Structure formats: C-alpha cells, structure tokens
Chain A
Amino acid sequence: MVETPDPPSGEDPRPWDPERLAAEIRPHLQRTVERLCPRWLRPRCDDIVQVAVLRVLRSREKTEENRPPPAAFLWKVALATTVDEIRRATRARESSGDGALPDGPAPPSGEPDQQFAAREIEAAIRDCLARLAPRRRVAVWLYLLGHSIPEAAGLLAFDEKQTENLIYRGMADLRNCLRVKGLKP
C-alpha cells in the first residue's frame, strides 16, 4: 500500500497519457516476463513485454485511466502474454517440421538422471491422478500445487472437512498407485 503526495481532489487531473503509463508499467511487466520466460525464449522477452504493455494500455484506454492497474492484473497479462508466445513459438517449430530450431526449447538444466527420474514421476503422477475419482483428483491436484485445505475448499465450494477427506483419501490412493508402478518419490 502506497501513499502519494498528490493533490487532494481525489481525481487524476492529468489527461490520458498512454506513454507515461507505459513507462510506469513496463518495468513491472518486464520483471515478471523475465521470471516466467523459458531460457530458449529469452531473446524475445522484449517483444513479449511490448505486447503485454499494449494489452494493458488497451484495457485502460476505454476509461482513459492513467493510474497503473492492480498488480494482479499486470501479472495476469504478463503470464498470459508469455504463455501465448511460448505456444506460438512451439507451434511454429512444429509446423516447420524441425524440432531443433535454434530458438526452440532447450533441454532443461540439471543432472540427466535426475531429470529423467523427475519426468518419470511427473508422468506417473498424472497417470495416477487420472485414475482417481474426479472430485478427489481435483482436490489432490490443488493440494499438490500448494493450495491449503481452506483454499481448495473455497475454490471448489466444498466444506473444509469434505475437502480434507478428499485430499487425505486421494493422497493415499495416489501413493498406492505410485508404489504399484514401482516408484517411490
């Protein structure tokens, strides 16, 4: 929360100034895009930021609002724009029939054995999740993504006790399923 020593009128007296607004929001969009951008897409980060800036400006154009939008909105735009560009670049790579374009996805960093094991467990988690009853599946998935029981309950409109049971039983099923696959996380 920030206080700014502006005139006390409660209104923004400035005329619509998209350039100034763009200058204000750009650093925040840039930081978020850079954090989200995979390494292979980093050369295009500036382009992604520019698209994100334009998207935000379009949303403010109607009301000619000079104040930056809430952080959540900026980050939503940054995430959506980055994902759009990832998908666009991936489609372009696939349609070219060349999976090894210079700007295509690079292999992840880390020890190859660890990468392989993690990828194997990740695929097994998805497979085991798919075997759970739908309500358990979603509750467990939210839990694995770090949502608390109250958060998961709120998102799914279940009561907390019900959600806790879904997660508890779903996690037991998931662990058993992974064990059957011979995997021990």
Chain B
Amino acid sequence: MSVDETADRRLREILGEVPLEGDATPDCPSPETIWDAASGLLPPGRVGSLGEHAAGCRACTAIWREATILTRAAATGGGEARPSRRPPTHGMGIGWPLLAALAATLAVTIVGVCLFQLDPPPAGRTAVQREPEARSIRSLVPEAAPIARDEFQLRWTEGVAGARYRVQVTTADLDLLAEGRDLGSPEFLVPVAALRDVASGETVLWQVEAVAPDGSRVTSPTFLARLR
C-alpha cells in the first residue's frame, strides 16, 4: 500500500467517526433529503448543491455516511445495518475499481451473514439463508436510463415458473402510485396518469411479488426507475 493509500484510509476513518450529533445549522437539509440524495433518488443537480453544503457540515456528513451504509445494506437484499460504521476503504491506485468491487463484494458478504428479514423466515430456513438464485427476481430495467412517462414499462426476470405477479410502484416516500395484480407475465406498464405528480428526473421505487403455482411467494428487492 502506498503512503497516499494509507493516508486516504486514515482520512476516511476520521470522517467515519464523525458523530451524528454534530451541530446542525438552519441551512442543513432534512435527514430524509440527505437520505434521498445519498440513495440517488434526487436529481443530480440537487445532489451537487446539497453535497457542497454537506462537505463542510459535520452533521450532514454523518447523516450522509449513515444513509450510505444503510442504503447499501438494503440494496443487498434487506441486510441489517450492522456493517462497520466506517465506509469501505480502498486506494486510488491502478487497482482502485477492482478494490472497490472487492470491497463491495466483502460488504455484501458481511451484510449477508448479518441479515435480518423484514418478513419472518419460513420454517426450516434460517435468517441467513438467501433465496436460491433460480427463484430470485431481478429487474430488467436499467436504473441509470430515464424512462418516458408514456412508456414506463417495468420488466423483470420470471423468478418462478408459472408465477402470477403483483407489482407495486411508489414514490421515494412510499406513496403508492400504481399497482398491478395477478399479472401473468413479468412486465407492467405504469399508467401515465399514475405518474402525473412525479416530476421529471425523479426516481420511483418498485417491487415485485411472485406467487408460485404451489402458493409460495418470492419477493424481489426494491428496484429504482427514473422518470425522464
């Protein structure tokens, strides 16, 4: 490890220890707004301006750090927020992207063994057992690409053969925008009217539940989709 990498790690550790009780100012955004920014739910322009404030603010830095840790845990499938309080550390050298990927993999592993489930695990399965890949549901909608409101079609992998699907589309604050029930195919076109109050550039959340022919259910992670 180079001197710079060691120094960078130390700097990160110091920011990783900034306490949540840092003094807030009247300019500080709400914790919910910081959460949305750290989660990529705000338009990039707002993230930039919010970051300019937060970079100089202890309170906002600490909230952003915690929001990042928690959203990462959630994005890995609903893990309990028990990873290190410090963000993953990695160097800036040639292997930086690889190290970042390894750090992310490690974080997934750590979170995986610390999982808690929002729904109680069924009998015979422990809380750390993951859904077999064959029964998982993945989004087929690229999160980075904005979608036109009149073509807001959500698609996902089948997950379970012969399943019927229920999909819920909500705002970032979980206000229900649209719901598809008893769908026979893994896709859902969100009605234009349902997106009437969602501004361009905003992100919506969506989640799928598959009901298998034997009655068992598979629930997807929460996916993101951005409105053009």
Contact = CB atoms under 8 A, between A and B. Distances in A.
A35 B63 contact: no
Given A28-B116, A122-B18, A146-B88, 13 more contacts: A1-B137, A3-B135, A31-B116, A35-B82, A41-B21, A80-B32, A80-B35, A130-B56, A138-B48, A142-B51, A146-B87, A155-B38, A156-B44
Nearest to B69: A146
Nearest to A1: B131
Given A10-B164, A108-B19, A141-B54, A149 B100 contact: yes
B119 interface: yes
Contacts of A149: 96-97, 100
A65 interface: yes
B96 to A, nearest CB: 7
Interface string B156-183: 0000000011100000011110000110
Contacts of B56: 126, 129-130
A91 B17 CA distance: 22
A84 B30 CA distance: 9
A63 B68 contact: no
A126 B18 CA distance: 12
A96 B86 CA distance: 34
Contacts of B65: 145-146
A38 B87 CA distance: 19
A79 B67 contact: yes
A156 B52 CA distance: 11
Nearest to A139: B51
Given A76-B32, A138-B52, A154 B20 contact: no
A157 B74 CA distance: 23
B47 interface: yes
Contacts of B21: 38, 41, 86, 90, 105
Contacts of A62: 175-176
A72 B173 CA distance: 10
Interface residues of A, number: 77
B61 interface: yes
Interface range on chain B: under 10, 10 to 19, 20 to 34, or 35 or more?
35 or more
Chain A residues touching B, majority SS:
helix
B64 interface: yes
A101 interface: no
A126 B68 CA distance: 19
Chain B residues touching A, majority SS:
mixed
B131 to A, nearest CB: 4
B209 A10 contact: yes
Given A2-B119, A72-B70, A138-B52, A8 B24 contact: no
Contacts of A122: 14-15, 17-18, 58
B78 to A, nearest CB: 4
A146 B107 CA distance: 12
Name the residue among B64, B75, B174 with the largest chain A CB count within 10 angstroms: B174
Interface string A1-22: 1111111111100000000000
B74 A145 contact: no
B55 A129 contact: yes
Nearest to A122: B14
15 contacts: A1-B77, A1-B78, A3-B219, A10-B209, A28-B116, A36-B20, A59-B173, A70-B118, A70-B221, A80-B35, A129-B55, A148-B90, A171-B8, A171-B92, A185-B10
